Amino acid sequence: MELKSIKELLSSDQLLQEVGVKGWIRTFRSNRFIALNDGSTIHNIQCVVDYENFPENVLKQLNTGAAVSIVGTLVESQGRGQSVEIQVKEIEILGIANPEEFPIQPKKHSLEFLREKAHLRIRTNTFGAIMRVRSALSFAVHNYFREHGFNYVNTPIITGSDAEGAGEMFRVTTLDAKNPPLNDQKEVDYKEDFFGKETNLTVSGQLEGEAYAMALGKIYTFGPTFRAENSNTSRHLAEFWMIEPEVAFLDLDGNMDLAEDFIKNVLSYVLEHCSDDLNFLEGRLLEEEKSKPQAERSEMKLIEKLRFVTENNFKRVSYTEAIDILKNSKPNKKKKFNYIIEEWGADLQSEHERYLVEKHFKAPVILFDYPADIKAFYMRQNEDGKTVRAMDILFPGIGEIVGGSQREERYEVLKDKVKAMGIDEKELWWYMDLRKFGTATHSGFGLGFERLVLFTTGMSNIRDVIPFPRTPQNAEF
């Protein structure tokens, strides 16, 4: 007898046949009804036990969390909420779960409590749903790019280049931690280190991605990136996954088109393929928000919100326009912002981004043409001499979800910029080469994958959308 997944069984029409199923008990009630889950779907299959036919010691072990193997007959369900159920003939206890010890009992656990049990929280409905949606989103990413002629590139995780400039880095080393070798200048002698130089964990695969785009045309990365920043917020992780497409012969307008199309496409994929999990997550969110004041609740339900993004154009607004809107906004005039917008050139804070997205436009917003001074060295200078071809995509409840730009393709301009920013050009020799040999307009962006999962699942803490979160003071598991 072939073992079937619960997902298959629940949509099966093989009634009255004998079936075998293995899974974990979610609940066992009235000494009769096992709700069994095997992770293939959020739904449990109901297994009806005629308790008179089973020994007491077996029934006693049918506790939440126990693994069992069940053989029985698939029949139309008598109860509500499921189409089929199993009339149990045989039960084998594979692994018990002592109810005095197993922490995931059928009651409400706080997300904070579950974070301490990251190895077991995946056995709850909430985390099962989140992680299945996360997996589906990942696949949608690969599928979108493959269908659009992109090649997947694995850029290095350990990098000897410290010119990426996107933030604080983690050092990677095999030197003796206590007594590192020193050189003649009494400095740590990285020549003795594994790679013969100082190395760090990457903050972005963009620069290497550009090298590949300038040969393969369209590429993307999708891998882990790192920030050694002491940020204990609900939106930051020290280790997170980033998606970075890079396209030759593409300008900023094309880049915005790509990012918008990409996001809509992957959200459409999960709307189509994860409706059960999304329905559950929508219900969870409604429940959670009941305890909040009306003003803080979401205006749209989860699925409605996702549909809204897939069906409406993102608003494209230049930084200059955005500053005008913000300067004339109520919270700015009434000095409700923590940072008052006084003049062009100001760096936008989260409160300003949220105002634009959630209050003013009530839609995802693409801001573009930022002041050069607040953006990275590799972004293409506009003719005005003061702005660069950067773009950020801002999402309701999330803030920045995408940051991208057209890249500076002109050798001399880039060289001057690198110098002006005090970066060692020699470190970037190979990146400069891309401008020396067959340079061309090209663009790309980075999308923080966990922020996308956060948005899609309606969760509010980024630690809850990655299996084993890494944050300051926390690398458990």
Residues 78-117 that bind its own copies (CB under 8 A): 94-98, 101-102, 104
When binding is defined by CB under 8 A, the residue of 19, 62, 248, 317 that contacts its own copies is: 248
Cα 149 to Cα 155: distance, rounded to the nearest angstrom: 18
Stretch that binds its own copies, among 50-58, 182-190, 290-298, 395-403 (CB under 8 A): 182-190
When binding is defined by CB under 8 A, the residue of 34, 38, 407, 459 that contacts its own copies is: 38
Nearest to 59 by CA among 69, 67, 49: 49
Stated as kind and residue range, the H or E segment containing 73 is: strand 67-76
Contact call for residue 443 and its own copies (CB under 8 A): no
Backbone angles phi, psi at 423, to 5 degrees: -90, 145
The single-letter code of the amino acid at 281 is L
| Closer of 27 and 350 to its own copies (Cβ) | 27
Backbone angles phi, psi at 120, to 5 degrees: -115, -20
The token pair that represents 453 in the structure block:
């999962």
Contact call for residue 31 and its own copies (CB under 8 A): no
CA-based torsion, 172, 177, 181, 182: positive or negative:
positive
The dihedral region occupied by 153, where left means phi > 0, alpha psi between -120 and 50, and beta the remainder, is beta
For the packed helices 252-273 and 275-289, what is the interaxial angle rounded to 10 degrees? 90
| Closer of 196 and 283 to its own copies (Cβ) | 196
| Closer of 7 and 362 to its own copies (Cβ) | 7
463 in Cβ contact with 451 (< 8 Å): no
| Closer of 353 and 409 to its own copies (Cβ) | 409
When binding is defined by CB under 8 A, the residue of 10, 42, 201, 252 that contacts its own copies is: 201
Strand pairing class (33-37; 151-152): unpaired
Contact call for residue 211 and its own copies (CB under 8 A): yes
CA 281 vs. chain centroid, Å, equals 16
Contact call for residue 196 and its own copies (CB under 8 A): yes
| Closer of 112 and 373 to its own copies (Cβ) | 112
What is the nearest approach in angstroms of its own copies to the Cβ of residue 37?
A: 9
Dihedral angle over CA of 468, 229, 225, 472, nearest 10: -20
244 in Cβ contact with 209 (< 8 Å): yes
| Closer of 170 and 308 to its own copies (Cβ) | 170
The dihedral region occupied by 344, where left means phi > 0, alpha psi between -120 and 50, and beta the remainder, is beta
What is the nearest approach in angstroms of its own copies to the Cβ of residue 115?
A: 13
Instruction: Measure CA of the first residue to CA of the last residue in the chain; give whole Å.
Output: 37
Stretch that binds its own copies, among 212-220, 323-331, 336-344, 392-400 (CB under 8 A): 212-220
Stretch that binds its own copies, among 80-88, 186-194, 289-297, 375-383 (CB under 8 A): 186-194
| Closer of 44 and 332 to its own copies (Cβ) | 44
When binding is defined by CB under 8 A, the residue of 28, 241, 355, 368 that contacts its own copies is: 241
Residue 441: strand, helix, or coil: coil
What is the nearest approach in angstroms of its own copies to the Cβ of residue 161?
A: 7
What is the nearest approach in angstroms of its own copies to the Cβ of residue 389?
A: 17
When binding is defined by CB under 8 A, the residue of 12, 27, 298, 441 that contacts its own copies is: 441
Q: Which of residues 106-165 bind its own copies (CB under 8 A)?
A: 118-120, 122-123, 127-128, 131-132, 134-135, 138-139, 142, 146, 149, 151-161
The token pair that represents 57 in the structure block:
């010691």
Q: Which of residues 394-433 bind its own copies (CB under 8 A)?
A: 409, 430-431, 433
Residue written as tokens 């095997």?
38
What is the nearest approach in angstroms of its own copies to the Cβ of residue 468?
A: 5
Q: Which of residues 368-397 bind its own copies (CB under 8 A)?
A: none
| Closer of 276 and 358 to its own copies (Cβ) | 276
Q: Measured between alpha carbons, how far is residue 96 from residues 49, 58, 70, 217, 314 in Å?
A: 18, 10, 14, 55, 51
387-395 sheet: strands from edge to edge: 151-152, 218-226, 239-248, 442-448, 399-406, 387-395, 365-371, 315-318
Contact call for residue 276 and its own copies (CB under 8 A): no
| Closer of 168 and 304 to its own copies (Cβ) | 168
Contact call for residue 199 and its own copies (CB under 8 A): yes
| Closer of 225 and 329 to its own copies (Cβ) | 225
Stretch that binds its own copies, among 36-44, 321-329, 363-371, 373-381 (CB under 8 A): 36-44
Residue written as tokens 């393969």?
216
| Closer of 209 and 399 to its own copies (Cβ) | 209
375 in Cβ contact with 389 (< 8 Å): no
Stretch that binds its own copies, among 19-27, 286-294, 304-312, 330-338 (CB under 8 A): 19-27
Residues counted in the chain: 477
Cα 50 to Cα 59: distance, rounded to the nearest angstrom: 10
Query: Which positions ≥6 away from 475 have C-beta within 8 Å?
Result: none
Residue count, binding to its own copies (CB under 8 A): 108
When binding is defined by CB under 8 A, the residue of 165, 167, 283, 472 that contacts its own copies is: 472
| Closer of 33 and 195 to its own copies (Cβ) | 195
